[in-house]
Structures are given as C-alpha cells and as structure tokens.
C-alpha cells in the first residue's frame, strides 16, 4: 500500500509540473505560432500558383505539412532548451528541489508539459491546414496527412527530450544551437550510413555505423513526401519507427536526469 501511495504521489508531482509548463507555454506561444502558421499557408496558397499552376496544389500541401514541422520545431528549440534554465535564472529551482521532489520528476514533468504543448499546437495547425485545403478545394489524402502530422509530433517529442538534455548542462543559447544541430544532423544520419557503405572502406564504415547508432535517425519520422503522394509505409514499419523514436527519447531523458541529478546549484 505504501509503495502504491509513493508511486501516485510521484506521478502527481510530475503531472503538476507538466500542467504548469502547459499553462504557461500555451498562453505565450500556441496562439501566436498558430497565427504564424496560418499566415505562412495563406501566403503559399496565394503565391505558389503564380509560379507553377499545374503542380501548385501538391506544392501547397507540401509547404503546409513542412510548415507544421518547422513551427513545432521552434517550440522544441526555444521553449524546450529554456525549461530548466528559466527556473535557475528565476531562482525558483531552489524552492522546487528543496521540496520532497526528485529531480527525475522535475525533468519528466517538464518534458511531459512540453509534449502536451506540441500535441496541442500540431492538432490546431492540422485543423487549420485541413480547413484551408477544403476552402481552396484542394484534394488531400486525409489519413496520410494525419499519419504524417502524428509523426511530426512524435519527432518533435524526441527533439524536446534532446532540448531538455542539452539544457540540463548548458545555457539556453548553446542548448538551442545544439538542438538545432541535432535536428539537422538527424535528418541526414541515414545518408551518413549510406556514404560509408558506398566508400567500401571498412574503417570508414565502422565510423559511420557508430555515428548512426549514436545520432537520432529523424528520417524514420519524416513522412511528408509520402503523405503528399499518399504512399505511406506499411503499418509494421511505422510502428517500428514509432517505437524507435520513443526509445531514443526515453534514453535521452534518462541521461538528462542523470546529469541534472548531479548538477550543483
């Protein structure tokens, strides 16, 4: 009974931190970023037909999905890297860690709150995207679009974990640059593996395979092109890619907790 009580209290503290992150970030970010996304999509709908009328519909859909990823990435980079450092700058970290709260609960709560914010933002942008496509009478594969947007959310969930990891031991600016670098490298990590295989050099292949194992493979959660042409991978492949992304996020959070637990304030 005592064990169950301790677990429930622990989850309650994690939920309290997550709810606080969600309330603060939703007020400050989601509305403005949703308006930014609407502006980007409306601009694309107005400008792209002037350059390529025949393929403008697919280009608009492509831009709409890509913009969802970029706007969500802004949240992971700017908000995620600042979640821990903001508490340190405000000196509220001393109050939080003085309470009967494990630092693991603090990190997990921050990530859970950030994930909830990203989920809300991606959902809102998806609704805006579908509504504008309907107004413009552009046919879209709804199921493929929803699958691609879910994997965008799943990718940003992982990047949120990476942002918190970097924020656990560095300043906000450095953590933001490192997170952005992880996003760029992660989208090309599979190409790095292919480069090693093409080279036919055993030593280079070992290096590229090692780097591929260490770096996140974000191409696993990139279904934008597949959604545009409605050629999604099989359900088993998508499931395996989803498990990979979640596993990498949990491992990253575990390392972040390990580092943050040993940080002195």
Q: Give dist(CA 204, CA 189) in Å, integer.
A: 14
Q: Do you know the residue count of the chain?
A: 265
Q: Would you state the pLDDT for residue 3?
A: 41
Q: Would you state the pLDDT for residue 1?
A: 41
Q: Would you state the pLDDT for residue 99?
A: 67
Q: What is the pLDDT of residues 16-53, one digit of tens each?
A: 889 988 988 887 678 889 999 999 999 988 888 776 65
Q: Which residues of the chain have pLDDT under 50?
A: 1-9
> Is 132:41 a contact under the CB 8 Å cutoff?
yes
Q: What is the pLDDT of residues 163-185, one digit of tens each?
A: 999 999 988 899 999 999 999 99
Q: Give dist(CA 126, CA 57) in Å, integer.
A: 17
Q: Would you state the pLDDT for residue 265?
A: 63
**Residue ranges per structural domain of the chain:** 9-187+222-261
Token readout for 115 is 């994930």
Q: Would you state the pLDDT for residue 6?
A: 45
**Look-up of token digits 């903001």:** 86
Q: Would you state the pLDDT for residue 7?
A: 43
How many Cβ atoms sit within 10 Å of the Cβ of residue 117?
28
Token readout for 68 is 């969802």
Q: Would you state the pLDDT for residue 39?
A: 95
Q: Would you state the pLDDT for residue 212?
A: 85
Contacts of 131 (CB under 8 A, 6+ apart): none
3-state secondary structure of 128: helix
């Amino acid at each position: 009974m005592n064990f169950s009580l301790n677990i429930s209290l622990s989850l309650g503290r994690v939920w309290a931190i997550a709810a606080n992150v969600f309330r603060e970030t939703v007020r400050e970010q989601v509305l403005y970023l949703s308006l930014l996304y609407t502006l980007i999509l409306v601009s694309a709908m107005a400008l792209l037909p002037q350059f390529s009328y025949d393929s403008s519909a697919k280009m608009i859909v492509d831009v709409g999905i890509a913009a969802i990823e970029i706007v969500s990435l802004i949240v992971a980079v700017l908000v995620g890297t600042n979640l821990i450092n903001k508490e340190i700058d405000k000196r509220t970290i001393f109050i939080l860690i003085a309470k009967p709260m494990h630092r693991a609960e603090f990190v997990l709560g921050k990530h859970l709150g950030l994930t909830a914010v990203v989920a809300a933002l991606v959902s809102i942008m998806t609704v805006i995207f579908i509504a504008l496509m309907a107004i413009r009478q552009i046919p879209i594969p709804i199921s493929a679009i929803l699958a691609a947007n879910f994997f965008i959310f799943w990718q940003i969930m992982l990047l949120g974990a990476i942002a918190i990891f970097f924020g656990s031991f560095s300043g906000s600016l450095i953590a933001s640059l490192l997170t952005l670098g992880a996003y760029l490298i992660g989208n090309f990590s599979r190409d790095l593996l292919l480069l090693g295989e093409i080279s036919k050099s055993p030593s280079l292949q070992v290096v590229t395979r090692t780097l591929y194992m260490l770096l996140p493979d974000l191409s696993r959660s990139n279904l934008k092109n597949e959604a545009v042409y409605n050629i999604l991978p099989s359900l088993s492949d998508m499931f395996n890619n989803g498990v990979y992304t979640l596993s990498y996020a949990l491992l990253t959070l575990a390392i972040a907790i390990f580092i943050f637990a040993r940080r002195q304030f």
